[in-house]
Amino acid sequence: MNRLAMAEEIARLVPTLAQRDKDEWKKAEQTRAEFAADYPLKRIPNLSLDEYVIGKGADNRSFCYRLEREMDNLGRILGATSFKFGVYFGHTKSDRSDRYRLAKHWGANLDEAFASVKQAIMDLLQAATKGDLAAIAENRLSPLFKGKLLFLYHPNQFAPIYAGRHLKHFIAELDLAGSFAYCAEMQRVLMNYRASWPELVSQHPALYMRFLYDLFGPPPTDDASITTSPAAPLLGEALAGAQFITTMPPLPVHAASSPGPRGKHNYEANDRRRKRIGDRGEAVVLALEMKRLSEAGKSHLAERVDHIAEKDDTAGYDILSFDEDGAERPIEVKATTASDLQLGFYITANELDRASQVPNYHLYFVFDAMSKSPRVLPMKKPELKGAGFTIRALNFHVTANQAPLP
């Protein structure tokens, strides 16, 4: 999502979330701060087993109970078994007797396992203080437990989202570039993005989490019986496979000119989807243009490539790039998830006018835009009203006359 669209969404959603749930955010921060104060790093090695384990009920407000149950609104880790804590008190599906239990990879007996878990918690929090993401990734604590500990002790550095699939989903939706090997790295990247918006920084991080889920929804399900759009790859994955092409992909032999939309549609959902595809297409083209100029020895021009659509949606083009001789190259991006243009594309009257009036105007078609191998076809000063394309009006702008309406 580009910053112009994100600014609109922040203005739309954040005031509502801040006002509607203000008591929730206040309580959430109070419980987080109390937890961090009750369990400073120096206390963790001295925790007794019952001060740590979950499974002895709400009366035993242990480390793990408070982390999982009392702070559920600071990122959910319920659902995974209690083995995620290394040791716990309770039963299993095959053994219904309640007793202390351990995940065997932590040690040969309960004492050894508990000592190893406490040391891992110490190591994790020390690595977070140092900013050592590699050490965090190598830490043996379970990913959900690890992620929540990082947020609780470092709430402005690590997002309160802990599952790798969810983290990847939001980073892909935001089109944040990079290669992300660790969940903690993705938590950090999401918080760095938050830091670029004063409206979000002024609110509790848990509101930011709620905002992302409200805006983008959860990641697509893996359940084949539920129809959802496939998950988009990370932008870095798409850029690694992106390439320019020089010829228009042929249309299938059965394809005719696109008749446009038919039947009933969820127009709001379709608009959001088109916008998402367009944003990814722009991000791909922006990176490829900078790469093209850099590889041509024109790094000074690559640094000047500008994502116009991030700031102005009335310019009639999305990106201002350059030819190798320094001439400006205005680029309008048209992205599709298809491998060809059989479904056509949308163009505004303003974009059509700019295509005919602006020198060196280019259309860049991005095919397979939401895949790991998008293909980009540049077209200079395309003649859209010629034999190669058919333009059909889908909407009309209507204004009222001075005469009174009946």
pLDDT class of 405 with cuts at 50, 70, 90: low
Which residues is 101 bridged to in the sheet?
88
pLDDT per residue over 163-220, tens digit each?
999 999 999 999 998 889 899 999 999 999 999 999 999 999 999 999 999 999 999 8
List the one residue out of 358, 378, 366, 375 whose CA is nearest residue 334: 366
Q: What pLDDT does residue 255 have?
A: 52
Domain regions of the chain by residue span: 3-216, 235-248+266-380
Across 81-90, 93-102, 246-255, least confident range? 246-255
Rounded to an integer, the average pLDDT of 279-306 is 97
List the one residue out of 164, 158, 218 whose CA is nearest residue 194: 158
Which residues is 89 bridged to in the sheet?
100
Q: What pLDDT does residue 225 have?
A: 45
| Average pLDDT in the chain | 91
Q: What pLDDT does residue 226 have?
A: 44
Query: pTM score > 0.85 for this model?
Result: yes
Q: What pLDDT does residue 352 have?
A: 87
Q: What pLDDT does residue 230 have?
A: 67
pLDDT per residue over 220-263, tens digit each?
876 544 445 668 899 999 999 999 999 999 988 765 544 455 44
d(CA 148, CA 145): 5
Residues in the chain: 406
Rounded to the nearest 10°, the torsion over CA 234, 240, 245, 248 is -20
What spatial distance separates the first Cα and last Cα of the chain, rounded to whole Å? 43
